[in-house]
Structure 1
Amino acid sequence: MSVPTSFPGSAGGPGTSAPSSTALVLAWLRERTPEQLVALLRARPDLTLPAPTDLAVLARRMVIPTSIYRALEQITAAERSALTAAAVADERHAGVTVTDLGHWVPDAEPDELAGAAWRLESLGLLLTVDDAIQVPDAVTAALGDFPAGLAPPAGLSDDQVSAALAAVDDRQREVLTLLDRTGPLGYSPPSSPSSRVVDELVTAGLLERLDPATVRLPREVAIALRDGLPLRAWPRPPELPTASAADAARVDSTAAGQALATLGLVKELIELIGGRAIPDLKSGGIGVRELRRLAKDLKTEEHRVAFGLELLHTGRLITQDTDHPERAGALTWQVTGLADDFLDLPDEQAWAELAIGWLALTRDPARAGRPDPNSGSGSKALPALGSELTWIRGPADRRFLLEALASLPPGAGLSHGALGEYLGYLAPQRSAARRSALIDDTLPEATWLGLVAFDAIADAGRVLLTDPEPGRLAAALAAALPPPVNEVMVQADLTVVAPGRLAPALAERLGQVADLESAGMASVYRVTPGSIQRALDSGHSATDLHRLFSEHSRTPVPQALSYLIDDTARRHGVLRVGSAGCYLRSDDPALLAQAVSAAGAAGFTLRLLAPTVAVGPADAVDVLNALAAGGIGVSAEDARGVVTDLRRRPNRAQPALLHRRREPAAPTTEQLTRLVDRLLATSGGDEVPDSPQSVTETVTALREAVAGSYPVWITYAERDGSTVTRHVQPVVVSGGNLVGFDQLRGSMRSFALHRISRVSTSP
């Protein structure tokens, strides 16, 4: 036996009862106080965009399915159970009381039920009109065809149901239980193996036959199967953990270290992208091959690289451009000039910019590199920064996750399983797959960013939710960071360990002379011949390097490091390159001959003028890079013979115009108060006042009518300049036109939007 998801003749979809719902909501709105209206608009900010002109417009907007679904996503499992009880109890729209709701959820405490009803009314999902609780038809429709899985009553008495259930066997009870668990409609054609059992249940009065293949479980039978709990058990939140001040401090300090590590990753990405041209795919984005290459270079996972790329892109630190010296005319991903300003910021301020950008990001970097569900075979992978990663609900879902963690005591965290259960209680309307993605994909990103540690939200994460201002965020991170240190520990294997966050000046100097192996609160560097060569090339002397380690090393400087510095410095400058085209000179003829040979192998022709001098037509920088790649240490000199740094400066592109889509800022209490005052001043009747409507208000009213499937009256300017009023059933608003059914002409007609001066629900 199978259970269909819908059946002809079942309850209509959202919006089919919009006019009656609107009338009920409008009556309710008129009974609300200004303070209650402000609270409603604060809880449902989508109702304010654009600002409604009067209460009638607000009422119509409140019963639009998309607005209802957004409101439903805010209610807990207990509140949903109370709403379902009200929808089932008020099927005849006569109104019910909180006491009536208690009959449907007898295991709920009276104060729990009253609190849930108050919360639902604050969202406009459950309405009290003339001291009676009612549920708008549009809200009931949003709960599904059968709220709580209950079909309409079949007129059976309790005794009839009890006697019939007492006579069923195991197979028959299994069918009844299946229908009660999955929905009251079942499909069992005569040829089905279960048809005999179904026929027996129909004969016993426990199922209703709707057609030869479809049956329905009556409400009385479903309630009897639930052991006295018509809507099943009243949901209660899972037990939440406690934490101490020490736990909170540990979370904050660990999260701060993770924040610095991610900041280091972002800076490394800037350096990598600035040093080479990364091709842009024809369809847009960075291909999986390049993504894996970056992950390999950074020694991290692909998701984390895609995450860093999205942070750079949303901050306008990278962009697509055709002006790259290595790939002129080709569209490549390049670092913008804003990146230099970003790199100059103190760590706390730079991190604050990243955190704010992540919370507002309408993209899902976790999907980069995963199979494209639209590619048919699934063999195509989604590119990083591609348009396919758009996630419009990203900001709202990230905020939902962080707010759930913020509802726990400071320092308290939940395991992934417990967190999934908690999210399911907080927002049962969100699908289980959607909640799982938050735990599997979004929670790691929040952890990398330093907003979460040990699955508990840090103080900086709380600040991001309540006051996302860069200065406040930077201060929150700074408070969690220990004071910067000015010393390191040099190990015998030439690794340099920072026992804490390095002072910026020391970190910069150490980055010139050693390669960063591990970033974070305790960074690890490694000194190599190449890193010493790099420091010497940038103008430091051997004495400078010895002084750096002797002054800042907590441990004795290993002899191996001193030998490496001296040996590299001794060979540094022995071979020099300048522009002739270019020339090579060295006091060591054997070394010069080796260099000429290596340059020739790399494709550069050099000619010996003397045992110690060679010249060639190639650019000095190209020769220098080729020899360095071949393992030959080379120093560049200027026309005066002074060692200089000829390395090309990173290419910088112009930052893109502001491109990212941001969620509209939540209106302030002052703004909402002014809006409510205007609504009350213009809502003496049902009709919209005669003041002109803006284009935005006109288009919004028409789109609401399309979504709600109800007719409107429009004031329209004809070609001859005359103004007429038309009664129209809007069908679509697109391309500067309204297409709808003209009730007067009895046919479809197109109306130019710029000629419509007013839209109302009454003539």
Structure 2
Amino acid sequence: MSTVAITFADELRARSDEDLATVFKLRPDLVTPVPNDFSALAARASSTPSLVRALDSLNLWHYQIVEATCALPEPFKKSELVAVTSEETAFVLDHLWQMGLLYKEGNNFRTPTNLKLLIGEEPAGLGPISVKKFDFATLKQIPKASEEVLAKLTWGPPRGQIANIKKPGNAIGWLLENNVLVAIDSHTVALPREIAIKLRGGKIHKEIISTAANLKGKKVDQKQVDLAAVANISTILRWCEELLHNLSDEPPTALRTGGLGVRDLKRIAEHLGVDEACAGFVAELCYLGGLVVVDSDDQILPTSAFDIWLSKSAEERWFSLVVLWLDTSRASGLIGKATDKNIAPLGPELDRAGVSLIRRTTLKVLLDNPQISPEITSMQEIIKWWNPQRANNEFVEWNLREAEWLGITGQGVISTFGLNLLTEKEDLGIQSAMPKPVDHILIQADNSAVAPGPLTPELASEMGTIADIESRGGATVYRFSEGSIRRGLDHGKTGDQIKTFLSKISKTPMPQPLEYLIADVAKRHGRLRVGTAHSYIRCEDEGLVQQILHDKKCEHLRLRKIAPQVLVTEFELTEVIGELREYGYLPAAENAGGVLLSQPNLRRAKSRPKPPRIISEFSAPKDAIVLSAVKTIRAGERSRKVEPIVAGTSSNETLALINQYISEGKTLMISYADNNGGVSNRIIDPISISLGTLTARDEASDEIVQFRIPRINGVAPTLTVLGNKADLDL
């Protein structure tokens, strides 16, 4: 008796509602949007993008079994698969079936064609299927020289190169003559799949790895972990603030391709006191949070969201950035790599598929191994087991480094704050663990000042304007210099205001050298003024004008004297000011009326925040969504079956039938025209008619919907059309 081969759609149609719900839970991309019927579901489930996502979710054990299924001729029995793998394969086979990576044909199994294409022509390093029947007794007669050739091909790769197929040599020649090897072309031979499996002892893999290795590392006391983590949290928040204030003070120009240039990144790294990789990560973190944007004039500036962010508590600020880092598909570790010189922070080239998946897996391993600071090679080996398709050793290393910078870990171990974050606790415990901010500094005799703890946001912002950070730690050391005082004057402050501010917040008296420095810079600041003519330079001190005019360092500005106190140049205002400051002069800008201009305290982008797109990983849908999807696809399948049967009815017949079915409480099938003129069949439970509108519950969406009576082309009861309702679910 012959059996008719069923399709993937037929097999899905025959599954129970519970089994369909499991498919949607294990492969959430199939729910978005819900397919119209089982043919559409089968097409999507066997499509390459969906299969790639499904394979990404498999661990190494499951992936090895998928390789084995693709290596066997179809259809195959469960016993055949177990024979070439292991006894435990039965559990994995059921899971793969529930995922829709396999489907049943009676007691046998098949795999979607696209799955075979994704796994490749050489699953588990096995060669092509032999087209000739082979006598395995031949393997006992193989000469020793030929055995050495087979040993190289048995475990893959199954193909070998030779100089000339017509003169293969004795060892390979014997194998070709006896069909142990097959010729692919004039220079390539291959070991057929069946023979390789026989040589492997009847198994497809050397070893079926059913469990991940144990994490290796040193044990660290949790108290020490949390102390290190809270210091990291405090530091990352300070880095973000300093970066954004610096971009406000000296906004860089974005590259043509978008992103932050190499020189600007280096300058920012020096300002933060970190390496360029860390500075790039901080910039990316702010970019993710919408705190910085490339403005319409190509300047990279903080957004107004930065001011709102500053007003929040430390825990809220940290949480708002970390949750975005968990899900982002951008790999900031690529910034500044020697092999990727053109990849810049804030640029478009940082997206990598699977980054978020590896990041989540890395943190899960840390969660499962509390108080263990992992060895990097051990962690990489475990991630390789969990995500064989996406595992990347560099990504694992970068994720661990970034988790430490963020304070999710401390000394490499998951912190209490990271644990609370990943387990979605309402109170992360950060606010109570953070050191209390201080409202004073200690000015030293060497033009430096020490903040004995984190300063309040207001004081930190003011100090960042008039002083440079020299070192960080439990205490922060600030350094006053000519450049830092000039920066404060550029922000509209006077020398007296700076002295008054420092005297007010310092617990130690202001040393005389610092007073002299502030007074001297304030006196010199603005003596030289720069405007636009394109640009002009004017100064009441004619000697200083002459000095600049004859300064060889300024020759490239092509200055021209048009009056005893005025020079002009074709260069832009900002460029002239920057060059003169670099050469030791202290110019200030003025407007066309000669009024001295001060830079605003806050420079913000005019553009709205533009956080980067995320190559998202689909999350498991909620039960209500899954149940609705199952119901929708069943209803869609019933509608498809009866599509040609719903006959047209006149308006009067339509109203009469609907009223009749409302009174009898029957389920209806209607043919309904949408706004675009398309006609579809809908299964509904009618409720009432009012003002030319039918109110009914749509079985597909389980929602109350209103249908315009003139758009209903035909009406029929589902029982009359479909017969036994039990048949619909098959």
Q: Same fold (TM over 0.5)?
A: yes
Per the TM alignment, residue 464 of structure 1 is displaced from its structure 2 partner at its CA by 5.1
> Residues 680 and 243 (structure 1 numbering): CA distance in 2 closer, same or farther, change over 3 Å?
farther
Per-residue CA deviation, residues 741-763 of structure 1 (Å, 9 max, x unaligned), is: xxxxxxxxxxxxxxxxxxxxxxx
Per the TM alignment, residue 189 of structure 1 is displaced from its structure 2 partner at its CA by 4.5
CA distance in 1, matches of 2:199, 2:329: 45
The match for 2:377 is: 417
The match for 1:263 is: 237
1:673 aligns with one of 620, 624, 627: 627
1:301 correspondence with 2:275? yes
Amino acid at match of 2:17: T
> Residues 441 and 490 (structure 1 numbering): CA distance in 2 closer, same or farther, change over 3 Å?
same
Q: Secondary structure in 1 aligned to 2:120?
A: coil
Q: Is the Cα–Cα contact under 8 Å of residues 11 and 104 in structure 2 kept in the other structure?
A: no
The match for 2:347 is: 386
The match for 1:104 is: 84
Per the TM alignment, residue 224 of structure 1 is displaced from its structure 2 partner at its CA by 4.4
CA distance in 2, matches of 1:538, 1:28: 79
The match for 1:448 is: 405
Q: Is the Cα–Cα contact under 8 Å of residues 60 and 386 in structure 2 kept in the other structure?
A: yes
Q: Secondary structure in 2 aligned to 1:278?
A: coil
Q: Secondary structure in 2 aligned to 1:517?
A: strand
Per the TM alignment, residue 63 of structure 1 is displaced from its structure 2 partner at its CA by 0.4
Task: Name whichever of 496-505 and 664-673 sits farther off.
Answer: 496-505
Amino acid at match of 2:347: G
CA distance in 2, matches of 1:341, 1:207: 71
CA distance in 2, matches of 1:283, 1:687: 53
CA distance in 2, matches of 1:354, 1:281: 25
TM norm structure 1: 0.66
Q: Is the Cα–Cα contact under 8 Å of residues 234 and 434 in structure 2 kept in the other structure?
A: no
Q: Is the Cα–Cα contact under 8 Å of residues 230 and 433 in structure 2 kept in the other structure?
A: yes
CA distance in 1, matches of 2:598, 2:395: 48
Q: Is the Cα–Cα contact under 8 Å of residues 255 and 452 in structure 1 kept in the other structure?
A: yes
Q: Is the Cα–Cα contact under 8 Å of residues 264 and 519 in structure 1 kept in the other structure?
A: no
The match for 2:659 is: none
CA distance in 2, matches of 1:314, 1:462: 22
2:160 aligns with one of 165, 176, 186: 186
> Residues 542 and 320 (structure 1 numbering): CA distance in 2 closer, same or farther, change over 3 Å?
closer
Per the TM alignment, residue 217 of structure 1 is displaced from its structure 2 partner at its CA by 1.3
CA distance in 2, matches of 1:140, 1:650: 58
Per-residue CA deviation, residues 363-419 of structure 1 (Å, 9 max, x unaligned), is: 34433445687xxxxxx734443333343554444434434444x322324222112
The match for 2:637 is: 683
Q: Is the Cα–Cα contact under 8 Å of residues 537 and 645 in structure 1 kept in the other structure?
A: no
> Residues 386 and 547 (structure 1 numbering): CA distance in 2 closer, same or farther, change over 3 Å?
closer
Amino acid at match of 1:435: N
1:275 correspondence with 2:228? no
TM norm structure 2: 0.69
Q: Secondary structure in 1 aligned to 2:428?
A: helix
Amino acid at match of 1:160: T
Aligned runs of 1:741-756 on 2, under 5 Å? none
Amino acid at match of 2:213: P
Q: Is the Cα–Cα contact under 8 Å of residues 514 and 532 in structure 1 kept in the other structure?
A: yes
Aligned runs of 1:279-294 on 2, under 5 Å? 279-294=253-268
Q: Secondary structure in 2 aligned to 1:387?
A: coil
Per the TM alignment, residue 525 of structure 1 is displaced from its structure 2 partner at its CA by 3.1
Per the TM alignment, residue 266 of structure 1 is displaced from its structure 2 partner at its CA by 2.4
> Residues 565 and 33 (structure 1 numbering): CA distance in 2 closer, same or farther, change over 3 Å?
same
Per the TM alignment, residue 177 of structure 1 is displaced from its structure 2 partner at its CA by 2.5
> Residues 630 and 179 (structure 1 numbering): CA distance in 2 closer, same or farther, change over 3 Å?
closer
> Residues 199 and 336 (structure 1 numbering): CA distance in 2 closer, same or farther, change over 3 Å?
same
Per-residue CA deviation, residues 109-134 of structure 1 (Å, 9 max, x unaligned), is: x4x43443343234222345655554
2:312 aligns with one of 338, 345, 355: 345
Q: Secondary structure in 1 aligned to 2:293?
A: strand
Per the TM alignment, residue 722 of structure 1 is displaced from its structure 2 partner at its CA by 12
Per-residue CA deviation, residues 521-545 of structure 1 (Å, 9 max, x unaligned), is: 5544345577678598486575764
Aligned runs of 1:212-361 on 2, under 5 Å? 212-227=186-201, 229-235=203-209, 236-241=211-216, 247-322=221-296, 331-361=298-328
1:654 aligns with one of 606, 627, 640: 606
CA distance in 2, matches of 1:228, 1:293: 62
Q: Is the Cα–Cα contact under 8 Å of residues 580 and 617 in structure 1 kept in the other structure?
A: no
Task: Name whichever of 648-657 and 124-133 sits farther off.
Answer: 124-133
Q: Which runs of 5+ in 2 are unaligned?
A: 532-538, 550-563, 568-572, 590-595, 647-672, 680-730
1:57 aligns with one of 15, 35, 40: 40
> Residues 53 and 657 (structure 1 numbering): CA distance in 2 closer, same or farther, change over 3 Å?
farther
Per-residue CA deviation, residues 468-512 of structure 1 (Å, 9 max, x unaligned), is: xxx95x835435534556677777766555565455466456556
The match for 1:402 is: 363
Per the TM alignment, residue 87 of structure 1 is displaced from its structure 2 partner at its CA by 3.7
Per the TM alignment, residue 436 of structure 1 is displaced from its structure 2 partner at its CA by 2.3
1:475 aligns with one of 428, 434, 445: 428
> Residues 44 and 479 (structure 1 numbering): CA distance in 2 closer, same or farther, change over 3 Å?
farther
CA distance in 1, matches of 2:224, 2:443: 27
Per the TM alignment, residue 76 of structure 1 is displaced from its structure 2 partner at its CA by 1.3
Q: Is the Cα–Cα contact under 8 Å of residues 269 and 276 in structure 2 kept in the other structure?
A: yes
1:120 aligns with one of 76, 81, 96: 96
The match for 2:54 is: 71
Alignment identity in percent? 25
1:367 aligns with one of 334, 348, 353: 334
> Residues 53 and 476 (structure 1 numbering): CA distance in 2 closer, same or farther, change over 3 Å?
farther
Per the TM alignment, residue 71 of structure 1 is displaced from its structure 2 partner at its CA by 0.8
Amino acid at match of 2:624: E
Amino acid at match of 1:258: N
Aligned runs of 1:515-664 on 2, under 5 Å? 515-519=468-472, 522-526=475-479, 534=488, 537=494, 545-546=502-503, 548-550=505-507, 562-564=511-513, 601=547, 646-656=598-608, 658=610, 660-663=612-615
Per the TM alignment, residue 27 of structure 1 is displaced from its structure 2 partner at its CA by 1.0
CA distance in 1, matches of 2:205, 2:420: 39
Q: Is the Cα–Cα contact under 8 Å of residues 329 and 355 in structure 2 kept in the other structure?
A: yes
> Residues 461 and 198 (structure 1 numbering): CA distance in 2 closer, same or farther, change over 3 Å?
farther
CA distance in 1, matches of 2:466, 2:610: 38
Q: Is the Cα–Cα contact under 8 Å of residues 260 and 345 in structure 2 kept in the other structure?
A: yes
Per the TM alignment, residue 64 of structure 1 is displaced from its structure 2 partner at its CA by 0.5
CA distance in 2, matches of 1:511, 1:280: 24
CA distance in 2, matches of 1:437, 1:334: 31
Per-residue CA deviation, residues 695-735 of structure 1 (Å, 9 max, x unaligned), is: xxxxxxxxxxxxxxxxxxxxxx9xxx999xxxxxxxxxxxx
Amino acid at match of 2:85: V
CA distance in 1, matches of 2:5, 2:399: 37
The match for 2:115 is: 139
> Residues 185 and 242 (structure 1 numbering): CA distance in 2 closer, same or farther, change over 3 Å?
closer
> Residues 462 and 477 (structure 1 numbering): CA distance in 2 closer, same or farther, change over 3 Å?
same
> Residues 393 and 498 (structure 1 numbering): CA distance in 2 closer, same or farther, change over 3 Å?
same
Per the TM alignment, residue 68 of structure 1 is displaced from its structure 2 partner at its CA by 0.9
Per the TM alignment, residue 32 of structure 1 is displaced from its structure 2 partner at its CA by 3.6
Q: Is the Cα–Cα contact under 8 Å of residues 532 and 565 in structure 1 kept in the other structure?
A: no
> Residues 293 and 629 (structure 1 numbering): CA distance in 2 closer, same or farther, change over 3 Å?
closer
Aligned-CA RMSD value: 4.8
Q: Is the Cα–Cα contact under 8 Å of residues 158 and 220 in structure 1 kept in the other structure?
A: no
1:436 correspondence with 2:397? no
1:149 aligns with one of 114, 125, 128: 125
> Residues 369 and 547 (structure 1 numbering): CA distance in 2 closer, same or farther, change over 3 Å?
closer
1:23 correspondence with 2:7? yes
The match for 2:138 is: 160
Amino acid at match of 1:116: V
Per-residue CA deviation, residues 190-215 of structure 1 (Å, 9 max, x unaligned), is: 27986443112223553234555443
Q: Secondary structure in 2 aligned to 1:279?
A: coil
Q: Is the Cα–Cα contact under 8 Å of residues 179 and 186 in structure 1 kept in the other structure?
A: yes
Q: Is the Cα–Cα contact under 8 Å of residues 243 and 410 in structure 1 kept in the other structure?
A: no
The match for 2:699 is: none
Q: Secondary structure in 2 aligned to 1:182?
A: coil
